[in-house]
Amino acid sequence: MFVDTQRSLGALALFTTLLCWVAVGQAAVPQVIQAEGLLKSSGGGPAADGEYSVTFELLDGVKATKALWSEGPVKISVTAGRWSHALGSTKKLDLKVLSTAKEPRLRLSIAGSGALPSTPLSAVPYALVAEKLSCTGCLTSAALGEGSVSSAKVDFSYAGSSSKGGPASDLACTGCVSVSELKFDGDVDFGANSIKAKNATFTGTVSAGSILATSFVGDGSQLTGIQLPKGTCKSGELVKGVAADGSLQCASAASALPKDGLNEISNDLLSNEFTDVAQGAEVLTIPDNTGQAANGSLTLPDWGIARGVRVRVQLTNSDLSNVSIKVFAPDDKKIGITLCEPCGKPDAKTLDLTWPKDANPKSGSLKALIGSNVKGNWTLQVTDSAFCAPQKPGNNTLCDLTKKLDGKVINWLVEVDTLSTKKVAATSALQLMPQAKAPFACTNPNMGSMYFDSTLKSIRYCDGGVWRVLVDSCGNGVIEPGEQCDDGNNSNGDGCTSTCQTVCGDKIVAGSEQCDDGNTKAGDACDTQCQINTTYGKSKAEPAESCLKLFTLFKTAGVTLKDGSYWIQAPKGQVVEVQCDMSTEGGGYTYFAVNSGLKTFRSTDNNTCKSYGLDIVYPRSKAQWTWMINKFGSSYFSVIPGVTKPNDGGNYTSCMMRNPKSYGSGCGDWRVADGGRWWVRDSNYGEPNGDYTANCWLGMSGHNPNSFAFNDGYCSYSTSKYLCSTNDKP
């Protein structure tokens, strides 16, 4: 009987086990079952040779867990994966127990690997003969008469010797023929059929016309029939290929890399391929059919051997159909390369072409210059062969009949693609790995070497004797030669660029700028170079915004302005001459005197100041009062129009007339319109002592700042002579 079982866990598997009866004594019922099999590793090959400890169990059914009989553990010997054991050889196998099983199965457990899946047992020989017997072991060969069992009494074909038995052409059992019973005396020919097996073990030679496999397992040390290339390459050579005769083709490693291969081997991080451009320095005017040409020249430096040459020309002319363009390379003084003739359709007026990118030259070839060094003087020649007609549309701006000119060459340039032998470009960042000390001594042979000093955080270079520091001074916070500013960083957008240059007009005062008002126009406080306009506010043509703005602007530039007359543009647009107090309390008070203005009684009345967008002056302090009275006299202060009381009533002889929030104590019911600081006196006084009317101006009977005297208002005090102010001095 054949059994086929496979482990799902562990490293071993049981495969193709044959069970057969072995008789013990001539008259006795067989008491052992011979079991054979192939033990495999989980990788598919035979298990390692040696002894294994195995337990055998007989079960009834696939789901059975309790053994009807077990034996072991016993030692079995494994060679090339094969093993055999007689079941019942160490523990008697009771066939009566076996006969009770409806579905007998065999299970093996290998020490260290666990139990294998159980395998069904097939019928044994004596059971086939006694299929109808209901007893086990009750019929022996001694009970059978000689010749009592014949082929006529057997209902299946069976195989036997030439003298006994017969053919078994319709044998339909599986596992009933042991491998040990199979032996081929000659070659087996399967015709067009194939042998299909999960595994095959051969101890001899496998001969085949072709072998098709997805993989070969092994070290390849004994593979034969594989032809290897002949010969070897010398030191410094690379394998270029294999010749037809099987010999290696070699090439020098140095010559194997093309001269433009730097980008290929550097992952496009390095390149020695460049496109350099030389451009004409001036605009050329084109003579109008005078027989003369517009001539321009430029000099190309030694960029190396040219891999491509292009010429670009941009020009205007009243009629390109009458224009021809030539270019002369350094070694060509007479013939030249005619780029175009004519250079456009009739009445076409603008040209912008690159040869040979956009068009091929009319005669000659720029491609012929490839492979040579095109350094030296290049000449452009533009000729106009017809007179300009100014009466035609669009020609009046091109024709200059007085100077006999027709259009101009706006720009011309020469582009050269080179494979440089003088420089290498890093297409991305070039990183010098940080080092705490120099990698080697700075000597003359090492001149030009560089490394990044991780201690100094700077690049150091060898000058042939000393490792010197390469300092980027921009960003160190010190304005040095060539720098307009240095704010301690290399960022843009903060007034000082990454190259330490200022940006006039960005509203950020930086570096040498005295101001920056967000523009570069002339005539305002900050000129086109972001310097203070020293004439600003000094004339009606250049009025300031207020005395305070003027004072602050000049102070930023280090200029202290004096008290006096200045010009401002009032909020409603009028340009007026004012008096500026540039000294009191830091400076910046603005005063515009009104002599015969609108008469005003209270803060809610209209007044002349409002027509300018100004307001009646707010007295902020004793120092301001002193300056105003000394400058303007007492006639402007018969009343104090800037200070009012919003509500009716109150006797104020007990409080000092000043803002308590600004001076610590005072009259909290009185105020100025912007709610800010105000001052009239530092001591109590006998007035006002009556019921005061809301919003009326405070009347004054004395004008000495040291002893102001006041009268009750009742809106009986009015004035048409007062000072206007921007009141922007808090």
- SS3 annotation, 632-662: HCHHHHCEEEEEECCCCCCCCCCCCCECHHH
CA distances from 677 to 156, 193, 501, 645, 674 (A): 131, 116, 43, 15, 9
CA distances from 106 to 71, 74, 333, 360, 619 (A): 11, 15, 107, 92, 119
Place of tokens 């006994």: 164
In this structure, what DSSP letter does residue 179 have? G
Amino acid at 20: C
- Tell me how far the alpha carbon of residue 257 is from its chain's centroid: 32
In this structure, what DSSP letter does residue 222 have? T
Q: What pairing do the DSSP bridges indicate for beta strands 434-435 and 450-453?
A: parallel
Peptide bond into 571 cis (omega under 30): no
Burial of 326 (0-12, 13-18, 19+ CB in 10 A): buried
**pLDDT score recorded for residue 23:** 38
**pLDDT score recorded for residue 1:** 38
CA distances from 22 to 4, 145, 216, 679 (A): 22, 22, 42, 134
Which DSSP helix (H) or strand (E) runs through 383?
A: strand 376-384
Contacts of 2 (CB under 8 A, 6+ apart): 16, 17, 18, 122, 174, 175, 176, 178
Q: What pairing do the DSSP bridges indicate for beta strands 376-384 and 323-328?
A: antiparallel
Architecture of the domain defined by 575-725: Roll (3.10)
Contacts of 613 (CB under 8 A, 6+ apart): 570, 571, 572
Please write down the long-range contacts of 421-424, taking CB distance under 8 Å and 24 or more positions apart: 421/272, 421/304, 421/305, 422/302, 422/303, 422/304, 423/272, 423/274, 424/262, 424/270, 424/271, 424/272
CATH topology of domain 273-419: Jelly Rolls (2.60.120)
Paired strand residues for 631: none
CA angle 64, 66, 72 (to 5 degrees): 120
Q: What share of the chain is helix, strand, coil (3-state, %, to 5)?
A: 10, 30, 60
CB 257 within 8 A of CB 245: no
Place of tokens 């590793």: 41
Token digits of residue 126? 């004596």
CB 329 within 8 A of CB 419: no
**pLDDT score recorded for residue 451:** 92
In CATH terms, the superfamily for domain 2-138 is Immunoglobulins (2.60.40.10)
Tell me how far apart the alpha carbons of residues 683 and 483 are, in angstroms, rounded to a whole number. Answer: 58
| Summary count for the chain: helices (H), strands (E) | 7, 35
Tell me how far apart the alpha carbons of residues 636 and 551 are, in angstroms, rounded to a whole number. Answer: 25
CB 637 within 8 A of CB 627: no
Order the strands of the 82-87 sheet from edge to edge: 2-3, 12-22, 32-41, 82-87
CB 698 within 8 A of CB 639: yes
Tell me how far apart the alpha carbons of residues 311 and 326 are, in angstroms, rounded to a whole number. Answer: 10
Regions of the chain where pLDDT drops below 50: 1-27, 125-132
Order the strands of the 722-725 sheet from edge to edge: 564-569, 575-581, 589-594, 722-725, 615-616
Contacts of 415 (CB under 8 A, 6+ apart): 275, 276, 277, 308, 309, 310, 311, 312, 354
CA distances from 353 to 339, 344, 364, 394 (A): 10, 11, 17, 21
- CA torsion angle 367 373 377 382 (round to 10): 0
- State whether residue 304 is helix, strand or coil: coil
User: Phi-psi category of 410—alpha, beta or left, where left has phi over 0 and alpha has psi -120 to 50?
Assistant: alpha
Which DSSP helix (H) or strand (E) runs through 336?
A: none
> How confident is the model over 6-25, as pLDDT tens digits?
333 334 444 434 444 443 43
CA torsion sign for 633, 634, 635, 637 is positive
Other CB atoms within a 10 A radius of the CB of residue 404 amount to: 16
CB 68 within 8 A of CB 97: yes
Contacts of 18 (CB under 8 A, 6+ apart): 1, 2, 34, 35, 36, 37, 175, 178, 179, 180
> How confident is the model over 589-608, as pLDDT tens digits?
999 999 999 999 988 999 99
C-alpha closest to that of 577 among 610, 542, 616, 626: 542
CB 108 within 8 A of CB 87: no
CB 304 within 8 A of CB 355: no
CB 287 within 8 A of CB 401: no
Domains of the chain, by residue range, sit at 2-138, 273-419, 431-470, 575-725
Tell me how far apart the alpha carbons of residues 624 and 204 are, in angstroms, rounded to a whole number. Answer: 124
